[in-house]
Amino acid sequence: MTSYLTIAGLKKNFGTFTALHNVDLDIKKGEFVTFLGPSGSGKTTTLMIIAGFEQATKGKLTIEGQSISDLAPQDRNIGIVFQNYALFPHKTALDNVYFPLQMRKVKRAEGLRKAQAMLELVGLKGFEHRHPKEMSGGQQQRVALARALVFEPDLLLLDEPLGALDKNLRESMQIEIKRIQKTLGVTTIFVTHDQTEAMSMSDRIVVFSQGKIEQAGAPLEIYHKPQTRFVADFIGESNLISARIIDAATRQAESALMGPMRYGDSAVTDLRAGQEVTLVLRPEHIKLSQQPIAGQFHAAMTIETIVNFGDNALVIGHRDGTVLRVRVPGADVVILKEGDACFINWSDDNVYLVTT
């Protein structure tokens, strides 16, 4: 991959606390990359260092081979959208978008023309003369996005920009941001703790934990082939089963909870007999039945709770005191009752192995 933005050996200390541990990452031109992780994982700190609002303790940032590490924020040609929009309340939408061009000494007539075109691109034609207080949260977010893009930045940074929006509006804005980003081809870094946003919007997801990158990859790769227990647990729902290797050549393992198990794939290549591992079994890869299904691995489970979502349901049960989760089609819920004993069934191809 040809790198457009290169992050090399990035480290950040706050006093005696190390917020980032030698972060390395390459991002290609036009890519939409999401930094995903829980609070305190280092994703926002990394974004702020790229923007120039935080100074790295160690490391280097380059765009197309040119260092930006020592540049002031205003000299980095980076557009930024924050969760709180940060619009000027006394300026109209048009003047808010024109403002960064004004700071760059663009003549007013030309700047307003560009600002008008950008407002149209984000779907706000006809809102040019409204002030922020006269606009909804979603409309204000579009103004903030237009303002961050109007000066043709080398890089667009989005710091949890949808966190203040309601569910339906947030989903609508996810689609709009992705559309606009693809239309302009601007290299974009999106910070969120929302897995759904990351999965639906990203070309690539970078999962952060405790100041380190746990894994970087395409959304489906992250979901179906997690490399660590943390990623498997953080991305989507998972049944994480502790086990030990019996025979790595034949992919056989032994679990105190499930008994003998086989796994279908693994990112780990140097497994040895007796090694402690974690087996990942996604809820949607399990079938429920009153009797074991022939040809599949199975185990007994007692249903505790059924959570209906309409088109599907989450069945939560237990086996020997351990909670297990199963996703079933909504129509199947009518044959299940809380308190029922049943069997869970799965194929070894749906079991993925990660290190503990």
- Domains, the chain, ordered by start: 5-224 (3.40.50.300), 237-355 (2.40.50.100)
Pairwise CA distance, residues 147 & 271, whole Å:
52
Pairwise CA distance, residues 142 & 176, whole Å:
9
Residue type, 308: N
Residue 103 structure tokens: 């700071």
Do residues 345 and 286 lie in contact, with contact meaning Cβ atoms separated by under 8 Å? yes
For the stretch 7-58, pLDDT in tens is: 999 999 999 999 999 999 999 999 999 999 999 999 999 999 999 999 999 9
Residue 224 structure tokens: 């179906």
Do residues 292 and 298 lie in contact, with contact meaning Cβ atoms separated by under 8 Å? yes
Do residues 148 and 85 lie in contact, with contact meaning Cβ atoms separated by under 8 Å? no
Residue 291 structure tokens: 């009797």
Residue 22: name the closest of 51, 65, 60, 53 by CA. Answer: 60
pLDDT at residue number 44: 95
Please indicate whether residue 106 or residue 86 has the higher confidence score (pLDDT): 106
For the stretch 96-142, pLDDT in tens is: 999 999 999 999 999 999 999 999 999 999 999 999 999 998 899 99
Residue with tokens 């950008």: 118
Residue type, 134: E
Is the per-residue pLDDT at 82 higher than 90?
no
Q: What is the DSSP letter of 330?
A: G
pLDDT at residue number 144: 93
pLDDT at residue number 117: 96
Residue 25: name the closest of 46, 53, 40, 45 by CA. Answer: 46
CA 268 to chain centre: 23
Do residues 19 and 45 lie in contact, with contact meaning Cβ atoms separated by under 8 Å? yes
For the stretch 283-320, pLDDT in tens is: 999 999 989 999 899 999 999 999 988 888 999 999 99
| 331: number of Cβ within 10 Å | 10
Is the per-residue pLDDT at 1 higher than 80?
no
| 262: number of Cβ within 10 Å | 16
Question: Mean of the per-residue pLDDT values for the chain?
Answer: 93
